[in-house]
Amino acid sequence: MEKRLSQIQHLISELKGVSIEVPFSLDEHMNISGKVSVKIEELPDALEFDITILPEYPLKRFTTEAISFSNVDFLEYGHVMGNGNICIHTSHHPVLKNKIKIDFDSLKRWIWKYYYKKEKDTHYEHLIMQPSPFKNIHFSFLFTEVEYTFKKQEFGFFEYSKINDGTYFDKNILNHIVQNFRNPSNKIVVECKWSNHIKQVLRRNFGLYIFLKEPPVKSKKFIISNWSDLEPFVNEEFHKFLYDFQKNNRKTNGYPMPLLVGYNIPKKEIHWQVALLEIGNFPVESVKIKQKWGGQFVNESITWGITRNSSYDYFFGRGKLNTQITESKILIIGIGAIGSIVAKTLVKSGCTKVDIVDYDIKEPENVCRSEYSFFNGICNKTHELQNELITTSPFVDIRIMDQNFFQANTKFFPNEDSIKTNLQEKLKEYDIVIDCSTDNDLLYVFNDCKINKYINLSITNEAKELVCSVEPKSYSWTMNQYENVLDNDLENIHNPTGCWSPTFKASYNDINVLVQYAIKHINTKMLNKEPLRNFVVNTNSEKGFTIKLNEF
């Protein structure tokens, strides 16, 4: 390590505009540290930085650079953390000499851009804060945007529901979702924009909130760390609100009480940070001001918890399907291997209104190639998939259509006109109907129905092909593909022990590849405003795996 220390010091000393002010040394953890001054042409004087280089360097430590440049005098400038560390963005290089040059060049760019030019980033950066555990446990609160304008110093209660606990690094974390905001009289002011399923979660508790309007900051970008720093942001009414609440809840002394602190950020958004209070030990005290008793915050550290804006645009901000699909009301018929994958994909891709129908029961054998869980045992496919989808997205409403609907309305009517009329009346409420049932009887009945947008998906044995018809009048075309065009080997099928129907062979991977390819194609066509046509996705595994789509 002494050789490495000497090498690093030598390489840094050779850099243009860099001088070593404090020689580098090695500590017991094999970290190398020292101090340098860095000069750029635009500035008359050099700037000093403490440097720490971790043993992993020039590689990263997990996802973080293994070198840091620090100076607490620069906290007011952009891209500086609370401990004075400069946020530099560098590229990978495994060679020590090259990596040192890359990182110092990045530091010089920071000096020029943020210290010398004093530039401000166009995108908003949240206040810098470090969440802390309350009694050794972390707390998180997820919220959405609301259709309400909070007034400055408005306060009251908020209602929240507990969701699954987890682990946050080395400590436990209790996770919650904010349901609504209430005034001091406990009347609902506004609800968060969750799905109806999320709003119906019954396990609820109350917290407190105050809207400050202005961010509670110091040095422009760091959230305040002491309760006394919050004093200028609140009024006496809020102190009385805290006093009365604590007085009326003495039986719960020692319990945590979340306080949401709200403020405006760009784009007319509201952000909430959560501070954790302890009932019976609120950080307030009575003081006499101008011959009157009042309240004020005490000189104690704030325990900030974790919050996230989980609104729809943030939740799906990294990518979703086009709005022609996500804003549609969708019915999925048949939620076996194909249908459950389609449903899960649509929900993960931003769809919010999805109905499902299937008469079948989920068996253990279904799990390996569908979106089901073994631990849910034997149950209705519709109910298990509904639970799976509403825990996937907090914005989707999943309804289960009566499983007998298609049987009753396609087989039992005395004439074709009554079948067609009843079906069309029910299905006209849907923008898209996706039929994954592989039910040829149903396909036949749909052949003469008027449906807004009909998509039929099925696959051949061993998932060699996926067949997609996109018009109700496609019964003959689909049947012709299976009976005369495609090589659908029905001899080599899965026929397990017991008296039940045999089924096609294919793994989850086999089916998923075809389904995702088909959805990608459909999404692209709709995004480009091109008409959908029937298509077949063909695969070939003779010389590696190839896939090809043919439109008709």
Interior CA angle at 310 toward 343 and 202, to 5°? 75
CB 386 within 8 A of CB 373: no
Q: Which residues pair with 69 in a beta bridge?
A: 51
Instruction: Retrieve residue 224's tokens.
Output: 């305040």
Tell me how far apart the alpha carbons of residues 17 and 38 are, in angstroms, rounded to a whole number. Answer: 6
CB 170 within 8 A of CB 133: no
Q: Which residues pair with 142 in a beta bridge?
A: 177, 308
Q: Which residues pair with 414 in a beta bridge?
A: none
* Per-residue tens of pLDDT for the chain, all 552 residues: 789 999 999 999 999 999 999 999 999 999 999 999 999 999 999 999 999 999 999 999 998 999 999 999 999 899 999 899 999 888 999 999 999 999 999 999 999 999 999 998 877 889 999 999 999 999 999 999 999 999 999 999 999 999 999 999 999 999 999 999 999 999 999 999 999 999 987 678 999 999 999 999 987 789 999 999 999 999 999 999 999 999 999 999 999 999 999 999 998 899 999 999 999 999 999 887 766 778 899 999 999 999 999 999 999 999 999 999 999 999 999 999 999 999 999 999 999 999 999 999 999 989 999 999 999 999 999 999 999 999 999 999 999 998 887 777 766 654 566 666 778 888 999 999 999 999 998 999 888 888 999 999 999 988 999 999 998 789 999 999 999 999 876 566 655 655 556 676 899 999 999 999 999 999 999 999 999 999 999 999 998 999 999 999
Those residues with Cβ within 8 angstroms of residue 79's Cβ, 6 or more apart along the chain or in another chain: 86, 87, 88, 110, 114
Tell me how far apart the alpha carbons of residues 67 and 70 are, in angstroms, rounded to a whole number. Answer: 10
* DSSP state letters, 38-103: E--TT-SS-EEEEEEE-TTTTS-BTTB-SEEEE-GGGTTSTTB-TTSBB-------SSHHHHHHHH
CB 381 within 8 A of CB 392: no
DSSP percent split of the chain into helix, strand, coil, nearest 5: 30, 30, 40
Shortest CA distance to 283 belongs to which of 269, 296, 267?
296
Q: What is the model's pLDDT at position 99?
A: 97
Those residues with Cβ within 8 angstroms of residue 489's Cβ, 6 or more apart along the chain or in another chain: 461, 462
Shortest CA distance to 330 belongs to which of 236, 432, 429?
432
Shortest CA distance to 130 belongs to which of 182, 96, 165, 169?
169
Instruction: Retrieve residue 359's tokens.
Output: 């008469």
Shortest CA distance to 446 belongs to which of 329, 324, 331, 323?
331
CA-to-CA separations, 378 to 360, 361, 365, 382, in angstroms, rounded: 11, 7, 10, 12
Q: Which domains does the chain have, with CATH numbers?
A: 2-116 (3.10.110), 137-315 (no CATH), 323-551 (3.40.50.720)
